[in-house]
A and B are shown apart, each in its own frame.
Chain A
Amino acid sequence: MSWEMVLEHIYMVVVSCSLVILIGVPLGIFAYCRPQAGRIILTVVDLIQTIPVLAVMGLLMMMFGANSTTAVISIVLYLLLPIVRNTNTGLNSVSPILKETADAMGMNRLQRLVRVEFSLAFPFILTGIRIAFVTAVGVAVFGTFVGGGGLGSMLYRGIRIQNFELILKGTLTLMVMSVFFDYLLGFAEKKCGGAHEKVEK
């Protein structure tokens, strides 16, 4: 195991997750604001999820060549589901009474979206992001097949030469990475999402 592999892996995870947040959250908001188009978006996102990651990577490799970009794009496609869905579900779960109250106060559509709906949906969105990061750590393992590098190559090699120690090391590193991201984002969730949920006794 080399630090290079770990860094490659983290690179794939962080870049793909950042991209998927930048694409997925606005897509989820759009799907909420335009329910008809939204149904199509959600169906497409669902469908993408059903294609095996390895197949997506293979197909994309034909277009983009064997490099980490291909891996990153594949991961992004695969992770759209939790982000778009959670954003959409979060927005839809905001009480209609609060939406009406926002209207009654004189908020325009954008003010209502930003100050009421998005703000209240934010804990849901953070949960989606958390799921995305943890999933990305696992999915990025396949990156090695399309030249993305990362810890996948270590696992792959371990399987090829039937080296138990190599497989175990790779797996443990991945687990530590997952737990790290999960904890980090769990902390962020508590910080940002829960302020108004706390009840002082």
Chain B
Amino acid sequence: MIEYRNVKKSYGGKQIIKGVDLTVEKGEFVVLIGPSGCGKTTTLKMLNRLIEPSEGSIWINGADHREMDLVKLRTSIGYVIQQIGLFPNMTVEENIAVVPRIMKWEKKKTLDRVKELLNMVNMPYNEYGRKYPKQLSGGQQQRIGVLRALAVNPPVILMDEPFGALDPITREILQSEVKKIQRELKITILFVTHDMQEAMKMADRIVFMDQGRVLQQAPPKEMLLHPANETVARFIALQGIGSRTDRITAADLMQQASGLAAGEDSVTVEAEEEVKEICQKYDLSKYRRICVKDSQGLLIGEITVGSLLEHLTEWM
């Protein structure tokens, strides 16, 4: 549904984006990640034309986005940034109603929508509708920022480090809320962060960028297990993700094999079992092999304890 075709961007002769090709499917949650200055925010802002590409083109549902009406394009793409993005001169209600007003919704319809959205995050209209952003906590402000982006049910939402300024607990709650809303409403989200843990948690697919190029595009687990090159691997390691083995299951590590038999030197685990749990549950020094069975109890592969330990040290 969204397609970047060899998109480049230069400022004063310096090329910031050096040819990005990226396809995003409907309902997909894509996280752009990379060190600062890698071009992830620029890539994001080119979609709603806050920044115009120098070369290449971006296609939305088969149409070149430069040929679309600018207001129509922007009202169909929600936009969330850090909490500073709420208009301080407007109440919560007015902030959420910004895009409906631009689209000339009826007052009644707008009000109903505002109430509906506020209920969705347990911030009743009667209590919060008339408040100004400064009267809310950081987490509440950011919720309103998300609601504002959802107001007219846009098919696409752009999020630029939306939770960067929040404390870890609030951040985690909001991450879950957004992920849930995205799944339920099947919204396409492009999300920029420099936090690998956030990317792992949110993404269907992570797009790793560095110096204006896409280095790797992969689902979270795959990127974690098989970083495309040194830069990606180092970035992941630096962020402490290496020690985080959640979400990696026995099935991810096993070598497929047939005709296996469990023996005295082996322990048998479910394919869906997480590696972390396996390490906690069994004393692996007593075994040489881990046999992996599927939900029907059939052995489908094995992991040698040696290779598992190798992986674990790599992740540390």
Q: List the interface of chain A (C-beta within 8 A of B).
A: 95, 97-98, 100-108, 111, 115-116, 119-120, 195-200
Tell me whether B88 is interfacial, beta carbon within 8 Å: yes
Residues of B within 8 A of A195 (CB): 132
Provide the B70-90 mask, 1 if CB < 8 A to any CB of A, else 0: 111111010101001101111
Tell me whether B133 is interfacial, beta carbon within 8 Å: yes
Give the residue of A95, A108, A116, A196 whose beta carbon is less than 8 angstroms from that of B84.
Answer: A95
Q: Report the separation of the CA atoms of residues A102 and B84 in the bound assembly, to the nearest whole angstrom.
A: 12
Q: Report the separation of the CA atoms of residues A119 and B73 in the bound assembly, to the nearest whole angstrom.
A: 26
* Contacting pair A101 B89 (CB below 8 A): no
Residues of A within 8 A of B90 (CB): 115, 196
Beyond A197-B134, A200-B131: 13 further Cβ-contacts under 8 Å?
A95-B84, A97-B81, A97-B85, A102-B87, A104-B48, A104-B79, A105-B98, A106-B74, A106-B103, A107-B98, A116-B87, A116-B89, A196-B132
> Nearest CB to that of A193 among chain B residues?
B89
Q: Report the separation of the CA atoms of residues A196 and B81 in the bound assembly, to the nearest whole angstrom.
A: 20
Tell me whether B307 is interfacial, beta carbon within 8 Å: no
Q: Report the separation of the CA atoms of residues A197 and B133 in the bound assembly, to the nearest whole angstrom.
A: 9
User: Closest CB of chain B to A168's CB: distance in Å?
Assistant: 45
* Contacting pair A105 B88 (CB below 8 A): no
* Contacting pair A107 B87 (CB below 8 A): no
Residues of B within 8 A of A102 (CB): 87
* Contacting pair B135 A106 (CB below 8 A): no
* Contacting pair B50 A106 (CB below 8 A): no
Count of inter-chain pairs, beta carbons less than 8 A: 65
User: Closest CB of chain A to B203's CB: distance in Å?
Assistant: 22
Q: Given A97-B81, A101-B85, does the pair A196, B75 have CB atoms closer than 8 Å?
A: no
> Nearest CB to that of B88 among chain A residues?
A196
Q: List the interface of chain B (C-beta within 8 A of A).
A: 48, 50, 70-75, 77, 79, 81, 84-85, 87-90, 98-99, 102-103, 131-135, 148, 158
* Contacting pair B102 A119 (CB below 8 A): no
Q: Which 9 A-B pairs have the closest CB atoms?
A: A106-B74, A104-B79, A106-B75, A196-B132, A119-B89, A101-B85, A106-B71, A200-B135, A106-B102
Q: Given A97-B81, A97-B85, does the pair A105, B99 have CB atoms closer than 8 Å?
A: yes
* Contacting pair A98 B85 (CB below 8 A): yes
Q: Given A105-B74, A197-B134, does the pair A120, B89 have CB atoms closer than 8 Å?
A: yes
> Nearest CB to that of A103 among chain B residues?
B50
Q: Report the separation of the CA atoms of residues A38 and B82 in the bound assembly, to the nearest whole angstrom.
A: 32
Residues of B within 8 A of A98 (CB): 84-85, 87-88
Residues of B within 8 A of A120 (CB): 87-89
Give the residue of A101, A111, A115, A196 whose beta carbon is less than 8 angstroms from that of B134.
Answer: A196
Give the residue of B77, B89, B98, B135 whose beta carbon is less than 8 angstroms from that of A199.
Answer: B135
* Contacting pair B132 A101 (CB below 8 A): no
